[in-house]
Amino acid sequence: MITTLKRVAKNLLAVPAVRKVYEGGTRVTLNLFGSHRLPATAYSVPGLLTFNREQYAVLSGRRAYYRALSTSRPTHVELRRNIHRLEKGMSMQPRRPVFARDYIAETVDYYRVAVAGQAGDRSIEGDELLWAREVLTEYFEIVPDGDPAVDRARSRFAAIPVPDGETNGVPMRPYPQRDIKPSDITYDQLLALAKQRRSIRWFEQRPVPRDLIDKALLVGRESPTACNRLPYEFLVFDDPEMVRKVASIPFGTAGYHHQIPTVIVVKGNLDNYFSPRDRHAIYIDSALATMGFLYALETLGLSSSVINWPDFEPLEMKMAKTLGLAPHERVICLIAVGYADRDALVASSPKKSLDVLRRFNVAR
């Protein structure tokens, strides 16, 4: 049905007279409703469904966030956020003698729930719990006695059983920047890698080793992420039937989806947030992780193409049904991965000049 409607619309817009009327009407509409927030609000009423899915997803995510607070999960984003806040407080120059008094009790409560989950064998990640324990221990060591809120939290923390696991020399507390070992990668090497990475759409018909996907993901997950929450998942499909089904959904794969060896759906999870102000973080953090992932694939001999995912209701519904997504799980993009067909053509795609992309000290 969707394909038929697309074909009809495309054929109609190919008629010059129809195209001219369509573009003229679009310009009049935009001049009228795009001039101020008030007419834009009026315009949004008949087009409610265009933005309703995002609103529903945000509300559903916040609902799931609060429902999960008293349960144990593999990752506790509320604990991750607060532990990250403590680390930032520890790293301030100069560091205040007492800080985090407004959320330290909450953080200890989050930690207690997480420890109880490990004791109940409900599979919380060990490193996440170790990190929380180490940072909280450091916090109570450096913040002096005497503040009632901090002292109450200190007593409650001391009463929580020490969870299993050891750091084994991995830094789990803030550490000096000088302790970071510099890499041997030069700027010229990095620039060469960026130029090497092209969008590849034609692949050899051989499977992609899963261990190489995992290696590339180890690089992607090191990307910056707000409050260390990593609000995304990479859904990897390498079964030919599933690849065909998933890769054929986006508009942008027409004509080549049939020969993609592996397709990955990058999914953002809005249940990582209690506030709608963070609703766009899934797109930023996922994009940052995706770029690191793509560069890592290149070093492993694999090529890729990012498949655009427009916010189009019929496709959103089809993908959600195909993957069994919850309302608060949003598709960010898709990635085709495989070994490049060396004889296939690659788009040159020259980039914009720096003079277009960059400005210094200019505001308008």
Helices 48-68 & 37-44 angle (0-180, nearest 10): 90
| Domain shared by 218 and 290, yes or no | yes
Domain holding 91, by residue range, is: 67-166
Read off the pLDDT of each residue in 50-58 and give the average, rounded to a whole number. 89
Q: What is the pLDDT of residue 212?
A: 98
- Between 315 and 364, where is the model more confident? 315
Q: What is the pLDDT of residue 29?
A: 84
When divided into structural domains, the chain yields a total of: 3
Residue 299, domain member (yes or no) = yes
Of 122, 50, 10, 23, the residue nearest 314 (C-alpha): 50
Interacting residues of 233 by C-beta distance below 8 A, sequence separation 6+:
266, 267, 269
Q: Provide the pLDDT confidence category of residue 171 given band limits of 50, 70 and 90.
A: confident
| pLDDT above 70 for 12 | no
Query: For 257-284, what is each residue's pLDDT tens digit?
Result: 999 999 999 999 999 999 999 999 999 9
Query: For 206-255, what is each residue's pLDDT tens digit?
Result: 999 999 999 999 999 999 999 999 999 999 999 999 999 999 999 999 99
| pLDDT above 70 for 1 | no
Residue 355, domain member (yes or no) = no
| Domain shared by 79 and 42, yes or no | no
Residue 73, domain member (yes or no) = yes
Share of the chain above pLDDT 70, in %: 94
Read off the pLDDT of each residue in 305-322 and give the average, rounded to a whole number. 94
Read off the pLDDT of each residue in 69-76 and give the average, rounded to a whole number. 86
| Domain shared by 195 and 133, yes or no | no
Query: For 125-150, what is each residue's pLDDT tens digit?
Result: 778 999 999 999 999 999 999 999 99
| Domain shared by 263 and 192, yes or no | yes
Of 198, 278, 276, 281, the residue nearest 232 (C-alpha): 281
Q: Provide the pLDDT confidence category of residue 50 given band limits of 50, 70 and 90.
A: confident
- Between 299 and 7, where is the model more confident? 299
CA distances from 218 to 214, 230, 234, 332 (A): 6, 13, 12, 19
Helix (H/G/I), strand (E/B), else coil: 55: helix
Residue 61 CA to residue 271 CA, distance in Å, equals 4
| Domain shared by 240 and 280, yes or no | yes
Mean pLDDT score of the chain, rounded to an integer? 92
Q: What is the pLDDT of residue 124?
A: 66
Residue 129, domain member (yes or no) = yes
Q: What is the pLDDT of residue 122?
A: 53
Residue 263 CA to residue 338 CA, distance in Å, equals 9
Q: What is the pLDDT of residue 233?
A: 98
| Domain shared by 194 and 141, yes or no | no
| Domain shared by 161 and 193, yes or no | no
Residue 301, domain member (yes or no) = yes
Query: For 178-216, what is each residue's pLDDT tens digit?
Result: 999 999 999 999 999 999 999 999 999 999 999 999 999
Cβ–Cβ under 8 Å, residues 129 and 118: yes
| Domain shared by 95 and 237, yes or no | no
Q: Find the helix or strand (DSSP H, E) in which 335 lies.
A: strand 329-338
Residue 331, domain member (yes or no) = yes
Interacting residues of 19 by C-beta distance below 8 A, sequence separation 6+:
13
Residue 308 CA to residue 323 CA, distance in Å, equals 17
Strand order in the sheet with 329-338: 232-237, 262-269, 329-338, 303-307
Rounded to the nearest 5 percent, the helix, strand and coil shares of the chain are 55, 10, 35
Q: Provide the pLDDT confidence category of residue 2 given band limits of 50, 70 and 90.
A: low
Of 291, 282, 297, the residue nearest 332 (C-alpha): 282
Residue 24 CA to residue 22 CA, distance in Å, equals 5
